[in-house]
Structure 1
């Protein structure tokens, strides 16, 4: 059975438990913990989609460059506001797919 994982700070991701998704709370200050928890999720073949708050997405992009090659990783806005990470990611994907640069 396919499962969905959500990774982030408690306040930002606790709501996703109501959808029946598996929620992983992390301490954003411990960057190594972020990467280790993410790698553990990747090892589980049941997780097909992984939602991460933007702070986690940025940490993974810095410390684990190939983090989104194996499974679908979708950035979420945290309760602390947006950093436009998702917008930047989708602009890049559109540019790759269509050869059109969106401003």
Structure 2
């Protein structure tokens, strides 16, 4: 992508981000804990990254607005309809992932 100008690269990155958000919206069965175990990020992380990017650019964006964008609805509504309780296996895998990160830090 080095051959692309900054504006084109930014447009492609933005399009890829929107596609990721759409993909996650189409796969609500994928729980945030699953994402955290496998990829060390989740929908909430994306929301926080949006807020951070806004702050870096002097724009105002609160976490709840960012979450609504990422989740496609207010976060409490998404949790009510789609979030499942983590299984003991998921919790153990998440803790193992966290322990691994601490060991590599």
**Structure with more strand by fraction:** 1
State if a TM-score over 0.5 links the two structures. no
- Structure with bigger gyration radius: 2
